[in-house]
Amino acid sequence: MDLVGDRLFTPRLCLRRLEDSDLPLVVEWSYKPEAYGEFLTPEKLDVELVRQKLKCGILWNRHEKLFLIVQRDSKENIGTIHYWQKPADTNTAVMALKIALSHKRGNGYGLEAQKYVIIYLFDRVGFRQIQMYTDINNKVQQHCLTRLGFELSESLVYDDHQVQRTGYLYSLTLDRYLEQPVYQYHEI
């Protein structure tokens, strides 16, 4: 799987580079608790700071990318998926997903977006491990991570935009990724 220009295509989604014209929507989402559900904390982004990060390439480079998740059929923006290289371990990426439209949750869009970003990170970028944090009560995301081959690494307290959460760290190694049928067969 390749990134085509600044887009990654899945069967139902287009994951694309954030553009300046997307900033009002992404900033609006960042203040809406309903865009985060009960398991994430609103980021409360500053539009000018995000604009500067976009201009400087901080949110789109080999070690970090912020994708806008767009439904291919309706062209509706439904969320974001973000990965970055773990500072202490250059072989590990950390991913974060947000389906910002609550009526789009539970339709498999998050699973699909995560699956194809994982394929991209292992097959094209060359990471050897991917990690994701999830709230201890976010059973849907935990089930999704298990379906994608992640293993529970540890239970911990972590910082989610200055809110302390109790949760889990899930990890997927390259070796385990290669053993997972979900990455070989693309029904979603």
* Confidence (pLDDT) at 91: 98
- Give the structural domain span for 30: 7-183
Question: What confidence tens digit (pLDDT) does each residue in 61-118 have?
Answer: 989 999 999 999 999 999 999 999 999 999 999 999 999 999 999 999 999 999 999 9
Domain membership flag for residue 97: yes
Q: What is the pTM of this model?
A: 0.93
* Confidence (pLDDT) at 2: 57
Question: What confidence tens digit (pLDDT) does each residue in 42-64 have?
Answer: 788 999 999 999 999 999 998 99
Q: For a pLDDT cut of 90, what percent of the chain falls above it?
A: 81
Contact 157, 164 (CB under 8 A): yes
Domain membership flag for residue 95: yes
Residue 161 has a CB neighbour count (10 Å cut-off) of 12
CB neighbours of 173 closer than 8 A, spacing ≥ 6? 128, 129
Domain membership flag for residue 59: yes
Domain membership flag for residue 13: yes
Domain membership flag for residue 2: no
Domain membership flag for residue 166: yes
* Confidence (pLDDT) at 184: 85
Give the DSSP per-residue string, 89-108. Answer: EEEEEEEEEEE--GGGTTSS
Domain membership flag for residue 1: no
What is the signed CA dihedral for 140, 145, 148, 150, rounded to 10 degrees? -160
Give the amino acid at 118: I
Separation CA 72–CA 14 (nearest Å): 6
Categorize the per-residue pLDDT at 164 as very low, low, confident or very high, splitting at 50, 70 and 90. confident
Structural domain total, the chain:
1
Domain membership flag for residue 28: yes
Q: Which of 4-8, 91-95, 111-115, 126-130 has the lowest mean pLDDT?
A: 4-8
Which CATH number belongs to the domain containing residue 67 in this structure? 3.40.630.30
144: Cα within 13 Å, side-chain hemisphere: 21
